Amino acid sequence: MANINERNVYFGTDSLKKYFNPDSQPPLPLVELPPHLNPYYEDGVRIYAKMMTMHPANNVKAMPALNMLESSVVPGETNRIIEYSSGSTVISMSMVARVMHGVNDTRAFLSNKTSDAKLKLMQFFGLDITLFGGPSQPEPLDERGGIQNARRKALESDEVVNPNQYENNNNWQSHIRWTGPQIFKQLPEINVLCAGMGTSGTMTGLGTYFKGVKPSVYRLGVCTAPGDRVPGPRSYALMRPVEFPWKDAVDTIEEVGSAESYTLSLNLCREGLVCGPSSGFNLQGLFQMLATRKAAGTLSEIAGPDGIIHSVFLCCDLPYQYIDEYFAKLGESQFHPIRNERLTKVDLHRYDESWERDALDVLPEFFGSPSGRWTLDDIVLKPQSRVLDLRQPEDFQAWHLPGSTNQPLASLGPHTASPFSDPGILENQWVELEKMEYDVGHVLVVCYDGDSARVATSVLRARGLEADSVRGGYRALQMFGEQAAVKAIGATVSVAAVPLE
């Protein structure tokens, strides 16, 4: 395994090809779990996470994708890739196909039970998606399933390639080529290797590799518990038709449930090892094996000459596409509540600081003075301009800008707190504002302190109207006084008669 790029920099016109090529990269990180994440630390067990998530494609399937496409794409002839995949494999293929082979058309065949988040992720990466009914994990040789449909589709044209991760030996051999040598170089004292069983490619490759270079390594495969589901791995029953030589590559199998998998993944993520549920799944399988051996008093049988058990498990992908599933599997107790969650349903329109205007700067845009005297008795509202006053009627009657329309908010009074300090007030005001009818034209919105007018401006702008609010409201007008008005407007504007209190 070459390691010719210790600086981890990729130059030249083929920089992306080098970036995706494991032979041009430093090894992917191997990170030991601290004691508080390792319940067997005092028993002489050291546990290391192999962060396959740190490949440019962010998942363990990048290595198989590279190896399979390298041997199946025909330069100048292949123009389409088709693969049945639950996510990581075909996403990796789409990137590898573009970067390494210039093939831009990758098509994903997958189960109609795939989550919406994962479907959108595939669309995000430019995949053309075809859904199939039936089991979410069809048997590889089932002629009714999407796996064999993808194979048949590729047979229709020499320009189409179906790598078929379930039958392609270059899948598991990629881990003999890259992943195994990386781990062995990083941790030659390794005693235990743990990986999940999906296509079985990862475990078959790694188990085969270590059987050759260090036969003492204990090889642990992990399957999903019967009737349970973790994205990626399969149950032991579904492993029977898989034709890879996986049985010779493992020493024992552990079956793991989804709740433990998601919990451990969540714990790892919060501690800084960001990884998906199948990573927690692998770690739980390792924990179960260690617990069984500890109870039986046989831990020492898998220790190295130093008396330590150096164990490696694979972190396979990232958690983000499974976020909804974490909440569904683990429940509310694992997550802090969202304060002011009621605001997720109101105040939904955008704000812009340019819409909140200083009172005396904005007046000339809305008012003119036929006499040129600029007193409140003389200024008049310009055509196509509107002033919307949200205060209560008695305050509006006491004084208001000429030509204003009073549309009082029931949730607003002279001593009401700012809607931005009280979610209940914001909710009530926004609901009221959404129900109001508004005149067309350029609208200036005013209230007592400017904050409710700011919310109203957001609502008006969302309806396509040109609207501004007065920062500070009528209280700002009172504070500025006549001298400020003269400076702002460039004339004499009398505001001495504004009775705001």
The most confident of the ranges 138-152, 172-186, 472-486 is 172-186
Asked if residue 180 and residue 244 are part of one domain, the reply reads yes
The answer to the question of residue 452 being in a domain is yes
The answer to the question of residue 2 being in a domain is no
Asked if residue 118 and residue 49 are part of one domain, the reply reads no
For residue 1, pLDDT over 60 is answered with no
CA dihedral sign, ordered 87, 276, 246, 133: negative
Question: Which of 387, 362, 398, 354 lies closest to 476, judged by CA?
Answer: 362
Asked if residue 388 and residue 463 are part of one domain, the reply reads yes
The set of residues, in sequence order, having a beta carbon less than 8 Å from that of 342 and lying 6+ positions away, is 423, 424, 427
The most confident of the ranges 55-59, 232-236, 475-479 is 55-59
397 φ, ψ (degrees, to nearest 5) = -65, -35
The answer to the question of residue 1 being in a domain is no
Question: What is the percent of the chain with per-residue pLDDT over 70, rounded to a whole number?
Answer: 93
Asked if residue 465 and residue 446 are part of one domain, the reply reads yes
Asked if residue 146 and residue 191 are part of one domain, the reply reads no
Q: Which of 104, 127, 161 is the last residue of a domain?
A: 161
Asked if residue 459 and residue 377 are part of one domain, the reply reads yes
> Model confidence over 302-347: pLDDT tens digits?
999 999 999 999 999 999 999 999 999 999 999 999 999 999 999 9
Residue 188 lies in domain: 26-56+172-334
The answer to the question of residue 377 being in a domain is yes
For residue 492, pLDDT over 60 is answered with no
The answer to the question of residue 88 being in a domain is yes
What is the 3-class SS of 282-311, one letter each residue?
Answer: HHHHHHHHHHHHHHHCCHHHHCCCCCCEEE
Asked if residue 220 and residue 320 are part of one domain, the reply reads yes
Structural domain count of the chain: 3
CATH number (domain holding residue 418): 3.40.250.10
Query: Do the strands 356-358 and 367-368 form a parallel or antiparallel pair, or are they unpaired?
Result: unpaired
As a whole number of angstroms, the distance between CA 172 and CA 275 comes to: 22
Asked if residue 286 and residue 264 are part of one domain, the reply reads yes
- The pLDDT value given to residue 487: 44
How far CA 156 is from CA of 149, 390, 499, in Å, comes to 11, 69, 84
Q: Give the confidence band of 431 by pLDDT, cuts at 50, 70, 90.
A: very high
* Mean pLDDT on 428-453: 95
The answer to the question of residue 406 being in a domain is yes
Mean pLDDT of the chain: 91
The answer to the question of residue 11 being in a domain is no
As a whole number of angstroms, the distance between CA 366 and CA 79 comes to: 62
Asked if residue 322 and residue 194 are part of one domain, the reply reads yes
Contact 147, 84 (CB under 8 A): yes
CATH number (domain holding residue 146): 3.40.50.1100
Q: Which of 96, 127, 161 is the last residue of a domain?
A: 161
> What global pTM score does this model have?
0.87
* Mean pLDDT on 297-303: 98
* Mean pLDDT on 85-102: 94
Q: Give the confidence band of 378 by pLDDT, cuts at 50, 70, 90.
A: confident
> Model confidence over 185-218: pLDDT tens digits?
999 999 999 999 988 999 999 999 999 999 999 9
As a whole number of angstroms, the distance between CA 221 and CA 9 comes to: 35
Asked if residue 351 and residue 330 are part of one domain, the reply reads no
Asked if residue 392 and residue 312 are part of one domain, the reply reads no
* Mean pLDDT on 241-264: 95
Contact 195, 180 (CB under 8 A): no
- The pLDDT value given to residue 374: 61
Q: Which of 312, 334, 356 is the last residue of a domain?
A: 334
The answer to the question of residue 14 being in a domain is no
Asked if residue 469 and residue 347 are part of one domain, the reply reads yes
- The pLDDT value given to residue 115: 87
CA dihedral sign, ordered 10, 14, 16, 21: negative
